[in-house]
Structure 1
Amino acid sequence: MTSPVLDAILAVTSHLDIREALRELVRTSIALTGADYAAIAIREPSGAVETFVDSEDNIEPVDLTGNEPRLDVPVRGHDVTYGTLTLVGGSTPLSAEGVDQLHLLAGAAATAAANSRLYDAARTRERWLAVGQEITTMLLAGTDVEESLALIASRMRQVAGADTAVIVLPGVGEDWVIEFADGDPVGDLIGIVMPPEGRAMRVLADGHGIIVESFARARPLRVPEFGRYGPSLYAPLVAGERRLGVFILLRNKQAPEFTENELTIAESIARQAALALTLAESRQAADLASLLAERGRIARDLHDLAIQQLFATGLQLRAAAQTSSDRQTQEAFESALTGVDEAVAQIRSIVRTLRSDAQDAPLLERLRREESLARIGLGFAPTLSIEGPLADDGALAERLGEDLADDVVAVVREGFANAARHAGATAVHARVHLGTRQLTVQVTDDGTGVDPRRTRRSGLANLAARAQAHGGTCELVAGEVGSVLTWTARRW
C-alpha cells in the first residue's frame, strides 16, 4: 500500500464531517490514477443521493453520460453498499494494484459513510430523547392535557425536521379526527375524519408505526389533503391495551424519507407520551373524584345540620306563635315559618343536585353539574344563568325531549372547554334562555383569543350538526378580547 492511500484512509478516522473525509478520498483517487475527474456519491437506502462530493466542488451529481474512459467502484463495507466512487478520463491504464488501491479507497469511503450515519443516528436519538423527557416531565407536572398535546405536536415536528405534525384523537361516536396540527399551513387539516380503512386506523389497530415513502406516490390516497406532502411517519399513542391516538409526521415532497431509526425513536416517545397522558387523565379523574366527594360532604352537612337546625327553629317559632295572643305577633311568626319552609325546600333541591349523578337527572341539575365540573379545566368557577319563561317549568325535560336536553348539556360542556383553551381567561359565563319558541345557549369569556392549532373544530362541527337537527344555528365569534359561542334550537 502506498503512502498516499494509507494517509487518505487514516484521514477518514479524523473527520466527523463526512464531506471532508470524502474530499480527501477524491483527491487521493485522482492523484493515484491520474483521472481527470472523480466523484463519490453516497446514497440513502431509497436510492436518493445523500451526500455528493467531486473534484470540481459541484453540489449536485454531474451527468457523466458519454464520458470515457469511466470506472465505477462500489462503495461497500460489511455487506452494505453505500454508493459509488466514479473516475473519468486519464491516459494511463490502471494496473491490478491500482484497482486494488481504488477498492481500498472505496472501502474507506464506506467506513466514512457508516461512521457518519452512526454519528447522525446518535445525535438524532439524543435530540428525540430530550424532547421525550421534556414531554413526559410536562405532562407529569400537571400541565393542561390539551396544551400538552399542542406542545407535543410542535416539539416532535421540530426534532424530526418535519414540515407538519398532526395528532389524531377520538372524535364523536367511532370517528377518529385530526384534533391538533402544527406547521404551516395546517388550517385545512384540523377536523379531518380519518378513513376507517386508512393507514392511521391500521397503525392504531396494530399498535406499530409505519413509514410512507411519499404521499405523492402513495395509492390509495384516502386523505386528499395529504397529497401535498412527501414522506410521512405514523406512530401510535398506546399505553398498555389503551389506544389513545396516532401521531403523524409529514415532510414536503422533496424532503428525505424517514429512517427506521427515526421510526423506532418516535414509537418510543409516543409510548412515553401516551403513558404520561394516561397518568394525567388519572390525575384529572382523581381531582374530579375529590370534587364529587366534596359535593357529597356538603350535601350531607346541609341535610344533617342545616335542615335539622331549620326544623328546630321552625318548631320553636310555631311553639312561640301558639303562646302569643297578639294577632300581629302571630302573623309575624307565620311569615317567619313560611320563610323557614321555603329555605328547607331550597336546601333540599340543592342537596338533590349535589348528590345526583345519573344521566336522567333533571336538565337544570345536569347543567349545574357541568358548571361545577368545569372548574377543573378552567382553574376557576364559571357562572351559569338559566332564564326565560320556561326556566321554572317543572316538566321542562318532557317539553324539550331527551335529545334536545342532551344537546343543551353538550353545548354548555363544549363552551366551557372552548373557553379553557383561551389565554388569560378569568371569567366565563354560560347563559341558557328557555323561550317558548326558541332555546338559546350563549357562552362568553374574557380571554385573549385561542391558538387556532388548539381549536378542536370537530367539536364545533358537532355542535353545529346538533343545532341543525333542531332547526337552529351555531356560531363562535372570537375577538381580540374574549369570544362568544351562540347555539340555538327552534324545534320543540
Structure 2
Amino acid sequence: MDAAAQATRGLQGMPPEFTARVSQLLEAMRSIGTGLDLHTTLDRIAETAAELVQARYASIVVIDSVSGDLDEFASFGVDTVDRERLDEIPEEPGTSLSVPIEVDGENFGEIVLSEKADGGTFTGNDLQLVRVIATEAGIAIGNARLYEASRQQAHWINGANAVTTALLSSADAKDALQVVAEQARTLADAAAGVVLLPMDAEGDGEGGLEIVAAAGEGTEDMVGTVVPWYSPVAAKLAAGEAVFVDDSAHDPRMITKVAQRFGPSMMLPMVSGARVLGTLAIPRAPGAPLYTAAEKNLARRFASQAALALVIDEAQRDRERLAVYEDRDRIARDLHDLVIQRLFATGMMLQGARRSSVVESVQDRLDKAVDELDKTIQEIRTAIYSLQQEPSQVATGLRALVLREVATAAAPLGFQPSTSFVGAVDAIVDDDTGRHLLAALREALSNAFRHARASQIGVSVDATARLPDGRHAVRLTVADDGVGIPAEGTRRSGLRNIEARAESLGGSAWTAPGLGDCGGGTSVVWQVPVSLPDGE
C-alpha cells in the first residue's frame, strides 16, 4: 500500500464531518507541497494537526537519515511560549500526543502535540487523525528528498560533462586536472577539491600519491604534498577502494598535515577497468555536514567519469603524438633522401667546375660555395636529429584557455556566457600573468554560479588597458545581471582571492555595477600591468 492510500485508509470509520474536513485540509496541504518548500509545508501540517485535535502546541521534528541529527523543525503555537517551557510540559496520560512519521517503513521523525485547548485529554479519535496527518507529513518529506536527490544528480551529471569537455579540449594536462578539482569542489559544496596521482616507486618503497591539483581557498600550498605508500588510505586507494572519513583532523588514518585542516572527506579512486589512474579527494570544512549516501554514490560516478575522460584524453594525446612523430619521420626522410643528396650532387658539380676554372678569383668563390653547402648539410642533419627527438608540448594561447574556461562554466550555469577580446592577448600576456588571470576568471565564474543567480554573464579580456600611472595593463572583466554582492562586512572569500592575485602582480581588483537594468548585478574587474613585446 502506498503512502497516499495509507492516509486515505486512516479516515475510514471516522465521523463524516471529520472525514470531509480532513480530506479538504489534506488537499490544501498537498497543493502547498507541490511547490516543494518543505519547511512551509511542514508548518502548515503542524497547524492542521493542532486545529484538528484542538491542541495549543504542535511541532514536527525531522531527523537526518545519515547523521541522526535534527534536519527540520516546524511548529505551531511554539513561538508564543518559551521553548524551555514547552520541553518541561509533563507527559501525563492524555496531555501530549506523539506519533512517528513513517512511510513504507522509513522513519522520518515525529509529530508532537501538547495541551488540549479545552483542558481535556487526547482521545483515540485524536490519535487516529494525527496518524493520518503524520502520513501526509511523511509524503511531503519523502517528495522533498526525492526532488533534492534528482536535483543533485542532474547537478553532478552536468559537472561531469563539463569536466569531459575541459579534458578533451585542453592541451595542458595539469590544467585539465585543475578543472576536475574545481568542479568536484563546487558540486560537493566542499572546502576543497584535490587530485592525486600515483608516484613512481623509489628505493625500497612502493610509491605513494602526490597532490598535483587543488582548488579552494588556501589550497595553493597543498600541491606537491605526498601521501606516502605506508599510509592506510593510500593502500586502499591503490587497490581501487573508496575511503570516507567523518573528521579528517582526528582520523588516525589521515597522517598528512594538510588533512588537519578539514572535516568530512571523500577519497575516491579514479578507476578505468583494472587501472587506478589517480584519486579524487573532496574534503569539507571542520564541522560541516557528513556526506549522504546519495552524495557518495554521485561522487563515485563523477570520479569514474573523470577517469574515463582521462583515459580518452590520454588516448587522444597518444594519437596526436603518433601523428606528429609520423609527420616528423616523413620530413626527416625527405630531408635525408632528397635534399641532402641534391646538395651533395650540387657540391660535386661545383668542385668539378673549380678544377676546370683557371681564374683564381672564381676558384675562391667556388671554394666558399662548397664550404657553405657543407655547413648547410650539417645544419640539415642537426634538424633531422631534432625531428627524431621527443616533441615539446605545444603551448596553448591565453585566448583559447579563456574560451575553454567559459565553456566549462556553461554547464553548471545553464547558459553560455558571452566572451570578447581586445588587443593581442596571446602576444602581450606572459605565461605567469596568464595563469593568474585564468585562476581569477575561474574564481569569478564560480562565485557567479554559487551566489549571483544570474541569467547572463559577459567575460572580457582587454590587453590594451592602462593603469592610472600610464603603464600598459591587461584587464579581465566578469559581469553578471544577478543579485549583487553582500555588504563589505560579509565580503566573500572568492573576491578576496581575486584581489590577492592582482596585488601579487602589482595590480588591483574591484567590483562595479553589472549587466542588469539600472546597473544591477555585479562586475568583477581584475587588472595587472604587462610588458609589451619589443617593437610595440
Q: TM-score, normalised by structure 2?
A: 0.64
Instruction: Give the aligned partner of residue 104 of structure 2.
Output: 78
Structure 1 unaligned spans of 5+: 358-368, 381-422, 429-444, 456-476, 484-492
Residue among 377, 392, 408 paired with 1:373: 392
Which digits, 9 at most, give the CA deviation of each residue in 1:405-454, with x for residues without a partner?
xxxxxxxxxxxxxxxxxx955499xxxxxxxxxxxxxxxx5652424997
Residues 446 and 29 of structure 1: CA distance in aligned 2, closer, same or farther (over 3 Å): closer
| Deviation for aligned residue 1:54 | 1.3
Instruction: Give the aligned partner of residue 458 of structure 1.
Output: none
Instruction: Give the aligned partner of residue 327 of structure 1.
Output: 360
| Deviation for aligned residue 1:33 | 3.4
Instruction: Give the aligned partner of residue 164 of structure 1.
Output: 192
| Deviation for aligned residue 1:309 | 1.3
Which digits, 9 at most, give the CA deviation of each residue in 1:225-280, with x for residues without a partner?
33332222233222223322222222223332221112212222222222122212
| Deviation for aligned residue 1:23 | 1.4
- Alignment partners' CA distance in 2, 1:243 and 1:250: 20
Superposition pairs of residues 338-487 of structure 1, within 5 angstroms: 338-355=371-388, 357=389, 369=390, 372-375=391-394, 426=427, 448-451=433-436
Does residue 211 of structure 2 align to residue 226 of structure 1? no
- Residues 238, 244 of structure 1: 8 Å contact kept: yes
Residue among 248, 273, 284 paired with 1:215: 248
- Residues 101, 134 of structure 2: 8 Å contact kept: yes
- Alignment partners' CA distance in 2, 1:115 and 1:279: 38
Structure 2 unaligned spans of 5+: 1-10, 12-17, 202-206, 400-423, 441-503, 507-527, 532-536
Superposition pairs of residues 53-68 of structure 1, within 5 angstroms: 53-56=74-77, 62=83, 64-68=86-90
- Percent identity between matched residues is 29
| Deviation for aligned residue 1:111 | 1.9
- Residues 166, 179 of structure 2: 8 Å contact kept: no
Which digits, 9 at most, give the CA deviation of each residue in 1:330-386, with x for residues without a partner?
33333333333333233223323323x5xxxxxxxxxxx5xx423265799xxxxxx
Residue among 137, 144, 161 paired with 1:109: 137
Residues 257 and 5 of structure 1: CA distance in aligned 2, closer, same or farther (over 3 Å): farther
Instruction: Give the aligned partner of residue 123 of structure 1.
Output: 151
Which digits, 9 at most, give the CA deviation of each residue in 1:8-36, with x for residues without a partner?
44444321222222112211222233333
- Residues 77, 110 of structure 1: 8 Å contact kept: yes
- Alignment partners' CA distance in 2, 1:482 and 1:284: 33
- Alignment partners' CA distance in 2, 1:143 and 1:8: 61
SS of 2:336 mapped into structure 1 = helix
- Residues 128, 265 of structure 1: 8 Å contact kept: yes
- Residues 194, 281 of structure 2: 8 Å contact kept: yes
SS of 2:393 mapped into structure 1 = helix
Instruction: Give the aligned partner of residue 72 of structure 2.
Output: 51
Residue among 310, 314, 317 paired with 2:343: 310
Letter of the 2:392 counterpart: L
SS of 1:93 mapped into structure 2 = coil
Give the aligned length.
388
Q: Which runs of 4+ in 1 moved over 6 A?
A: 452-455
SS of 1:230 mapped into structure 2 = coil
- Alignment partners' CA distance in 2, 1:145 and 1:336: 48
Instruction: Give the aligned partner of residue 387 of structure 1.
Output: none
- Residues 167, 245 of structure 1: 8 Å contact kept: yes
Residue among 257, 260, 266 paired with 2:290: 257
Residue among 18, 23, 35 paired with 2:55: 35
Letter of the 1:42 counterpart: V
| Deviation for aligned residue 1:199 | 6.5
Which digits, 9 at most, give the CA deviation of each residue in 1:160-213, with x for residues without a partner?
222322222235653322222222222233222124354653553343434333
Does residue 46 of structure 2 align to residue 13 of structure 1? no
- Residues 164, 251 of structure 1: 8 Å contact kept: yes
Residues 143 and 254 of structure 1: CA distance in aligned 2, closer, same or farther (over 3 Å): same
Residues 225 and 375 of structure 1: CA distance in aligned 2, closer, same or farther (over 3 Å): closer
- Alignment partners' CA distance in 2, 1:447 and 1:329: 56
| Deviation for aligned residue 1:120 | 0.9
Q: TM-score, normalised by structure 1?
A: 0.70
- Alignment partners' CA distance in 2, 1:354 and 1:124: 50
SS of 1:73 mapped into structure 2 = strand
| Deviation for aligned residue 1:481 | 6.2
Instruction: Give the aligned partner of residue 88 of structure 1.
Output: 114
SS of 2:280 mapped into structure 1 = strand
Instruction: Give the aligned partner of residue 274 of structure 1.
Output: 307
- Alignment partners' CA distance in 2, 1:377 and 1:100: 70
Letter of the 2:104 counterpart: H
- Residues 425, 447 of structure 1: 8 Å contact kept: no
Letter of the 1:48 counterpart: D
Residue among 22, 26, 39 paired with 2:42: 22
